[in-house]
C-alpha cells in the first residue's frame, strides 16, 4: 500500500486531489494536513510515507522554510511541490532546495498521476515548458538553506516577525511568550545565521520569500 500526505490549506483542493489520486492509484492511503505544524505532526506519526505533496504558501510554511526544514528532517522522503504559480524563479528555488517535482495545480488529474509515478520511481518531474529553463541555485543559496534548516519552527516565526518590522514586545504578544524568550530566540537566530543584527537577519529572511505570491485559489 502506498501512503501519501497532502499538505495544503484549502480543503476543497485537498479533497479534489485526494479523489483523483484514489481513482488512479490502487491501494493508496492519503493523509491530510492544513498547515506546517500539522504537516510536521503527520510526518512524525507516519514513518512509512511514500510521498509528500506540499503547498508552499499554507500557514506556517514560511514559503521556502517549510520545504527546507522538511528536507533536512526527512532526507529520504520524496517531496513534490504542488503550486498555483509557474514562475520560473520559484520553480528553480524549489527544485534547488530539494523537491523532486513541481506540479502546477492547473495540471490534469492524469498529468498529476503520471508525474507522481515518475517521482516514486526516483526521477525528478517538471512541466514540459519548464524542463530546460530551470536555473541551478548558487553555492550561496545552498549555504543559506543549511543555515535556515538549523532554525526551529518557533525561531523561524520570530525571524518572520523581524522581517515584518515587529518589536520584541509585539513578537512576544503574537506568539504568547515572554520578551525574554523572544530575546533568547533572536540570539539563537543570529548565531545560527551567522549575523550580528536585525538588518542582516531581515535580509536573509527576504531571500526566502517567494514572488510572485500565488493568487487565491
**What's the CA gap between 96 and 194, in Å, rounded?**
22
- Residue 27 neighbours by CB distance under 10 Å: 8
Q: Residue 177: give its domain's CATH number.
A: 1.10.10.10
Q: Which residues pair with 79 in a beta bridge?
A: 52
- Helix, coil or strand: residue 102: strand
Q: Are 116 and 18 members of one domain?
A: yes
Is 129 a domain residue? no
Q: Which residues contact 20 (CB under 8 A, 6 or more apart)?
A: 109, 112, 113
Q: Are 110 and 6 members of one domain?
A: yes
Q: Are 45 and 96 members of one domain?
A: yes
The x, y and z cell numbers of residue 132, run together, are 530546460
Q: What is the pLDDT of residues 189-202, one digit of tens each?
A: 999 999 999 999 99
Reported as type and span, the H/E element at residue 184 is helix 179-193
Sort strands 101-104 and 79-83 into parallel, antiparallel or unpaired.
parallel
Q: Look up the domain containing 102 and give its range.
A: 2-120
Instruction: Give the end of a domain, one of 101, 120, 139.
Output: 120
Instruction: Give the end of a domain, one of 99, 120, 141.
Output: 120
Average pLDDT of adjacent 10-residue blocks, the chain of 217 residues: 93 92 91 94 94 90 86 93 85 90 89 91 90 81 84 91 93 95 96 93 80 36
Is 43 a domain residue? yes
Q: What is the pLDDT of residues 75-99, one digit of tens each?
A: 999 999 998 878 888 888 889 889 9
Is 111 a domain residue? yes
CA distance to 95, 96, 118, 174, per residue, from 166 (Å) = 32, 31, 44, 10
CA distance to 17, 34, 94, per residue, from 91 (Å) = 21, 22, 5
Q: Are 116 and 154 members of one domain?
A: no
pTM: 0.83
Is 66 a domain residue? yes
Domains in the chain, number: 2
Amino acid at each position: 500500500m502506498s501512503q501519501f500526505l497532502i499538505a495544503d490549506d484549502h480543503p476543497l483542493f485537498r479533497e479534489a486531489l485526494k479523489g483523483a489520486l484514489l481513482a488512479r492509484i490502487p491501494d493508496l492511503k492519503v493523509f491530510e494536513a492544513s498547515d506546517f505544524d500539522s504537516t510536521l505532526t503527520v510526518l512524525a506519526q507516519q514513518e512509512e510515507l511514500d510521498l509528500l505533496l506540499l503547498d508552499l504558501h499554507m500557514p506556517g510554511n514560511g514559503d521556502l522554510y517549510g520545504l527546507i526544514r522538511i528536507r533536512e528532517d526527512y532526507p529520504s522522503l520524496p517531496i513534490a511541490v504542488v503550486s498555483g504559480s509557474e514562475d520560473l524563479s520559484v520553480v528553480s528555488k524549489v527544485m534547488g532546495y530539494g523537491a523532486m517535482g513541481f506540479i502546477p495545480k492547473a495540471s490534469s488529474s492524469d498529468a498529476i498521476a503520471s508525474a507522481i509515478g515518475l517521482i516514486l520511481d526516483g526521477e525528478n518531474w517538471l512541466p514540459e515548458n519548464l524542463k530546460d529553463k530551470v536555473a541551478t541555485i548558487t553555492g550561496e543559496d545552498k549555504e543559506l538553506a543549511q543555515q535556515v534548516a538549523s532554525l526551529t519552527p518557533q525561531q523561524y516565526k520570530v525571524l518572520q516577525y523581524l522581517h515584518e518590522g515587529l518589536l520584541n514586545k509585539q513578537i512576544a504578544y503574537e506568539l504568547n511568550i515572554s520578551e525574554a524568550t523572544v530575546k533568547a530566540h533572536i540570539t539563537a537566530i543570529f548565531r545560527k545565521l551567522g549575523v550580528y543584527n536585525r538588518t542582516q537577519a531581515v535580509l536573509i529572511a527576504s531571500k526566502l520569500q517567494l514572488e510572485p505570491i500565488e493568487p487565491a485559489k
